[in-house]
Amino acid sequence: MTKIGSSSTPPASAVIADEHDGAPDHLDALESESITIIRETAGAFERPALLFSGGKDSAVLLHLSRKAFYPGPVPFPLLHVDTGHNFGETLAFRDQAARVSGAKLIVRSVEDAIRRGIASEDPGPMPSRNRAQSPTLLDAIAELGLDALIGGARRDEEKARAKERVFSVRDEFGQWDPRNQRPELWRTFNTSLRRGGHMRVFPLSDWTELDVWRYIQREHVELPSLYFAHEREVVERQGRLTPISPFTPLAAGERAQTLTVRFRTVGDLTCTAAIESRATTLEQIIAELEASTTSERGSRLDDRTSEAAMEDRKKEGYF
Amino acid sequence: MPSGESSTVSRGGSPISVPTGDHDDLAQREPPSGSVALRPPLRVTTCGAVDDGKSTLIGRLLFDTRSVPRDQLEAIERASRARGQSEPDLSLLTDGLRAEREQGITIDVAYRYFGTPRRRFIVADAPGHAQYTRNMATAASVADLAILLVDARNGITHQTRRHALIATLMRVPSVVLAVNKLDAIEDPQAVFERVCSAFAELMPADVRAIAPPDIRARFKTIPISALRGDNVVRRSGATGDGPAPRGSTLGWYTGPTLLELLENAEPRAARAMPLRLQVTAVIRPGDGAIAGTGVQARAYGVFILEGRVSVGQEVVILPSGRRSRVASLGLYERSLTYADAPRAVTLTLEHEIDVARGDFIADADRPPEASSSIEADVVWFDRNPLVSGARLIVKQGARSVRAIVERVAHRHDPNQGAVRLESDAASELAENDVGRVWLKTSAPLVFDVYERSRAMGSFILIDRTSTDTVGGGMILQGGVA
């Protein structure tokens, strides 16, 4: 189910001085900052975890975590909040990537949380489980006693995220208070917590979408096949190509099409739209993005509900 | 590394020569075609009073460099039309929080990312309100360049002086005074010249005193109109890259555009520093031996703050003062013979000595200072004032020590210059004040003075009860412990 990026040669474990010797370039600088943030999190907190969705950003985070602690093991577990609406490819990739990394994978399910009454399903057809993710996550944090969650959010994704700190404090209700954030000076991070609170840590804060793809290419990071062009049955809804699945069935009067598509961002089946693309290699994806005039989250239906959709969800504890 | 020395980087194709150290000549050269920008991005911050047009300026930079995705542009066009504006309001690109859009002001630092074929930029939009000075300090602490925005109609204000003071104290390598809204006034050239000389004159005595000549020389001035885009990316009145037509508002200005100033800025003073690195993780390999090195026991995840680390190098561990040599160096499955700041790597030492997370490792011949008594300039953020006798946590990277404020020596006043305070128990720093203090610490601080190294000379102050970050400090000197 999974696919390796176009160039599948593993990095040479040469003992001679290699191409990365010398002055750090753009990707080296980003990588070094992220690795330092991940090491700081592992060192400063009792029970950190890495939020692992199986998407490209969390795949990069896992890769950075392996590099940060090599030759030792990744010293924290991976946590996935499974909405039950995931792509099968994402889940298969999640399990395989966790196995390869040697890190422990913990899965907590939104369906379970709904059954237990701590989360509720949005009403209406094609319900999104976006909001139901937050109580499920907060419940998992309490259950597992987690004090820091490493996430793959980037500031270039969305306007509310552009204001996020690298180490971002959450109170015991999981709330983000954008008007009262800690100043972050130089590269020294305040990792202190008040009782009951926890930290959200964003090592990829300063990466752009293109940085992520160029890094995936340079480091041969594996990804789910969804990101590469493939044939898929989709239906056009409000100008967007929605994949047809048990959670997003064809409605009366709609016409399914089989198109060559890929996903630029991968969330739930209910909120992720495909884009028409023939990009089957990392080189082609990067070229496509360089020429693109729309933003990454332009194909995410969950951000389009209102101008402040992301800000409101973040205040409730969303990632 | 000596200025101008080059190292060769291979990216699959032909080798590309990358000068390290002094970047002056690089800025004049075109990058190799089709290559990813090789240099780390330039960090830029914008500062100025509220309504000086900071968000509009950043929006203009993004818009005119074609960095705004179509869907985001459509969103702000919709929002602008809904408010009855005929032109898209570019400030909406950065004002991301609901309260900001409602009040039409910027509350929190917003980060934007854009690039040109010559360089990549990370722009921090720092708010202008006095109560948000801490956010300006946050952005300035890591900035390579600060754009100090002035509304031509108001001239130099109290906020301009405060921001100039913070930018100077924090040693932002380049500062650009951008006189904005010149499209809205009569005789813009005379006004621009008046503002520039007022800035030079009225720069607080304090700033002039503390700014060494090389920093003052880096203040550059430029007339702009963010609203119309004059001299931001395009020359005033120009439709393409050609010269401005006669009669345009700012056509008399013949210097570089703001974008050209950004593209040519030096990220920091080219100065070879001796090795400084900090241990950020102690790594215990699962199987006991580190592959390929024969070294047992422990490896250290480190961040190189200054200089270069090489295999075989003689180093000193601080604060313990013990010596060893670098046995191996690498990252993941790659071995390295040397690595340069700023970079995260993993290393092992020849001797099995006690090294903890937060320890510093340095050039054994040119070590940093260590002292339990420190004089520092402090930017204070907390609502409760900083007073003598206060107990705080000092954090430098991965190392925390306890500290007591021994004395608040004086406060820097942006209007009047240094105001000496009586060194008694009543002396204090209020919220957003910048002042000079003496701290006594529970263990020696390892440092180089801030003027020499932002990385080795800075710390944050944490309140032990609230856990908030209440201040930022820049070390001036160590005292007798």
What pLDDT digit, counting tens, does each position of A214-237 carry?
999 999 999 999 999 999 988 888
Give dist(CA A48, CA A182) in Å, integer: 20
- Smallest CA–CA distance, residue A284 to chain B, in Å, is 14
B334-335 and B338-340 beta bridge pairing:
unpaired
pLDDT value of residue B416: 53
Q: In terms of CA atoms, which chain A residue is nearest residue B304?
A: A32
Better pLDDT: B104 or A259? A259
Q: How far is B308 from chain A (nearest CA, A)?
A: 9
Chain A touched by B103 (CB under 8 Å)? no
User: What is the Cα–Cα distance from B348 to B367, expressed in whole angstroms?
Assistant: 19
Residue B428 has pLDDT above 90, yes or no: no
| Rounded average pLDDT over B88-112 | 64
**How confident is the model at residue B468, as a pLDDT?**
94
- What is the rounded average pLDDT of the residues B158-167? 80
B127 touches chain A (CB under 8 A): no
pTM, two decimals, is 0.83
Nearest CB among B138, B337, B357 relative to A185 is that of B138
Residues 6+ apart with CB under 8 A from A151: A51, A58, A61, A200, A201, A202, A319
Judged against a pLDDT cut of 70, whether residue B26 lies above it is answered with no
**Which pLDDT band, with edges at 50, 70 and 90, does B131 fall under?**
low
| Residue A5 clears pLDDT 50, i.e. is over it | no
Do the Cβ atoms of A67 and B332 come within 8 Å? yes
User: For residue B17, what pLDDT band results from cuts at 50, 70 and 90?
Assistant: very low
What's residue B199's pLDDT?
78
Distance of alpha carbon A99 from the chain centroid: 18
When pLDDT is cut at 50, 70 and 90, the band that residue A178 belongs to is: confident
Per-residue pLDDT at B241 exceeds 70: no
Q: How far is A115 from chain B (nearest CA, A)?
A: 34
Query: Which residues 225-264 in chain B show a CB within 8 A of chain A?
Result: none
State yes or no: pLDDT of B309 exceeds 50. Answer: yes
Q: What is the pLDDT of residues A235-285, one digit of tens each?
A: 888 888 888 888 888 888 888 899 999 998 887 777 788 888 999 999 999
Q: How far is CA B223 from CA B149, B193, B239, B249, B255, in A?
A: 10, 9, 18, 10, 10
B38 touches chain A (CB under 8 A): yes
Segment of B47-56, B127-136, B154-163 carrying the highest mean pLDDT: B154-163
ipTM score above 0.90: no
Q: In the prediction, which pLDDT does B101 show?
A: 55
Residue B455 pLDDT class (50, 70, 90 cuts): very high
Q: Of the given ranges (B37-46, B70-79, B349-358, B423-432), which has the lowest mean pLDDT?
A: B423-432
CA distance B459 to B439: 12
DSSP A2: E
Instruction: Identify the pLDDT of residue A213.
Output: 94
* Unique residue bearing structure tokens 């002056």: B24
Q: If you average pLDDT over residues B259-268, what whole number do you get?
A: 84
Query: Which comes out higher in pLDDT, residue A35 or A132?
Result: A35
Which band of pLDDT confidence, cut at 50, 70 and 90, is reported for residue A8? very low
Q: How confident is the model at residue B129 (pLDDT cuts 50, 70, 90)?
A: low
Q: What are the tens digits of pLDDT across the range B336-373?
A: 999 999 899 999 999 888 899 999 999 999 999 999 99
Amino acid letter for position B206: D
Query: If you ran DSSP here, which 8-state letter would residue B135 be given?
Result: H
Question: Rounded to an integer, what distance in angstroms lies between the CA atom of residue A146 and that of residue B293?
Answer: 35
Q: Average per-residue pLDDT in chain B?
A: 78
For residue B160, give Cα distances in angstroms to A88, B145, B203. 56, 16, 9
Per residue in B216-240, pLDDT (tens digit) is 555 788 999 988 888 999 887 654 4
pLDDT level of residue B418 (50, 70, 90 thresholds) = very low
Helix ranges (H only) for chain A are 26-44, 56-69, 88-101, 110-115, 130-144, 209-219, 282-291, 309-315
Question: What's the rounded Cα separation, in Å, for the pair B45 and B147?
Answer: 6
- Contact flag B112-A156 (C-beta cutoff 8 Å): yes
Interface test with A, best of B23, B39, B97 (most A CBs within 10 A): B97
Give pLDDT, residue B411.
80
Residue A305 banded pLDDT, cuts 50, 70, 90: very low
- For position A14, what pLDDT does the model report? 33
Instruction: Look at residue B55 in the predicted model and tell me its pLDDT.
Output: 79
- Residues listed for chain B: 481
Per-residue pLDDT band for A127 (boundaries 50, 70, 90) equals low
Interface probe for A, chosen from B328, B334, B340 (most Cβ of A below 10 Å), is B334
**Structure confidence at residue A203 as a pLDDT band (50, 70, 90):** very high
Structure tokens at B333: 């499955």
Residue of A190 and B88 predicted with greater confidence:
A190
Q: Which of A6, A4, A311 is nearest to A160 (CA)?
A: A311
* pLDDT for position B319: 94
Give how far A285 is from chain B: nearest CA, Å: 15
Segment A13-37 mean pLDDT:
71
Rank A18-27, A117-126, B204-213 by mean pLDDT and report only the highest. Answer: A117-126
Residues B113, B115, B120, B123, CA torsion sign: negative
pLDDT of residue B8: 32
The reply to whether residue B113 touches residue A187, judged by beta carbons under 8 angstroms, is no
pLDDT of residue B270: 46
Subunit contact A22:B107, Cβ cutoff 8 A: no
pLDDT of B36 above 50: no
Statement: residue A49 has pLDDT above 50: yes
Point out which residues pair with A242 in neighbouring strands: A235
Nearest CB to B301 within list A17, A39, A162: A39
Residues of B whose CB is below 8 A from A16? 335
In this prediction, residue A18 carries a pLDDT of: 43
Q: List pLDDT tens digits, range A263-274.
A: 988 877 777 888
**Which residue of chain A is at minimal alpha-carbon distance from B281?**
A39
User: How deeply is A159 buried, as exposed, middle or buried, from its count of CB atoms within 10 A (0-12, 13-18, 19+)?
Assistant: buried
Q: Containing H/E element for B19?
A: strand B16-19
**pLDDT for A147 beyond 90:** yes
Residue in A with minimal Cα distance to B122: A206
Q: Can you tell me which residue has the tokens 């390290």?
A: B20
Q: Which residue out of A64, A66, A165, A186 would a mutagenesis test of the B interface target, given it has the greatest number of B Cβ atoms within 10 Å?
A: A186
pLDDT in tens, B164-175: 888 888 888 888
Per-residue pLDDT, A201:
97
**For A254, what's the count of Cα atoms within 13 Å in the CB-facing half-sphere?**
17
Q: Do B36 and A163 touch (CB under 8 A)?
A: no
For chain B, percent of residues with pLDDT exceeding 70: 75
Encoded tokens for B70:
């179509």
Mean pLDDT rounded to a whole number for chain A? 82
Res. B35: pLDDT tops 70? no
* CB contact at 8 A, A165 and A184: yes
Asked if residue A308 has pLDDT above 80, the reply is no
**A–B CB contacts, 8 A cutoff, strictly below:** 227
